[in-house]
Amino acid sequence: MASTSKRSKYFDNAKFILIFLVVFGHLISPLKEQDGILFTLYTVIFLFHMPAFIFISGYFAKGYKKKGNFLKTIRKVLLPYFIFQMIYSLYYYLNGQEASIKFDFLHPHWSLWFLLSLFFWNLLLYVFARLRWIGFCCAIVLGIAIGFIDHVGSYLSLSRTFVFFPYFLLGYLLNGSQLRKAVRAKYSFPVGVLILIGTLVFLGYSFPHNSVPWLLGDTSYANMGGEEWADGLFRGLQYVLTLIVVFGFLTIIPSNQLKVSVIGERTLYVYLFHGFIIKSLEVIIPDEHLISFSGNYLLLIILSLIICLSLGSYLTKKYTQPLVEFKV
């Protein structure tokens, strides 16, 4: 688990669970308002799944200063962003969601914000990594302060870049030994289970329906209904709560080889392609029939699992690798 050079099944297992939560969260998104259980699951998932993903990405960014790493980041992160931004533009035109084809690279489509922000996070390391924990504190301040800029939003994914950067930087700052001591301590597992159960219960009873945008981090405080100094305090508390839940999640991850561990190596494929399946289902299935799926929890879980297994399969990687990783 401690090594960043040797493939870790711990992180592969964590990434598989997280990519499953990404797919499941996006699948239930149009259904959550019709079902209280789905709404609670949605809020818990979106509270921590991307912060945890971003934390792991930062953990494996420790070689950012190595020769050729910047060009590698462009090839593996920025170029796929441009390619899939064009593909999504064409897709939205073909399925009737857009009246014309618009190649807008400044406003990421749907889940593509992560690639653009990931590129910027790697760039920000050149400044903040040198400052270590002072840099982490500065990243927290910037994440809070960005919400006071009224017009910040999806443009270049600036809001999410700064809101989620502290998780990326924290992952970079922690070494394997520190992380192992935290998540594999004597009482970490039972504490982690209690954290996750407590979060489910707490958000299930107390999370306001109009507060979902806070979990997404993609807009200003003003666009979320108001702009007060207390909003900055609320985001600070959100950082604390999210990190506690991320810790709880990391404590329950097994370190041994599982049959699904290999999917954790191919999460980029699932992330990039699952949107076409989910968006197509939303277009094909009428709204009145789509809502009827809200109570079929097992079906939603199985469908999410099938999407993950199929898009993370060897065949998907074999035939789409030239498009995703520019490898033949």
The pLDDT tens digits for 231-255 are 899 999 999 999 999 999 999 999 8
Rounded CA Rg of the chain: 19
Nearest to 11 by CA among 241, 160, 183: 183
Write down the pLDDT at residue 152: 86
| pLDDT band at residue 98 under the 50/70/90 scheme | confident
Judge whether 293 and 38 are in contact, CB under 8 Å.
no
pLDDT tens, position by position, 15-26 = 999 999 999 999
pLDDT tens, position by position, 42-83 = 999 999 999 999 999 999 999 888 888 899 999 999 999 999
Place of tokens 């920025």: 78
**Degrees to nearest 5, angle at CA 104 with 103 and 109:** 100
Least confident segment among 54-63, 218-227, 286-295: 286-295
d(CA 104, CA 68): 29
d(CA 28, CA 278): 10
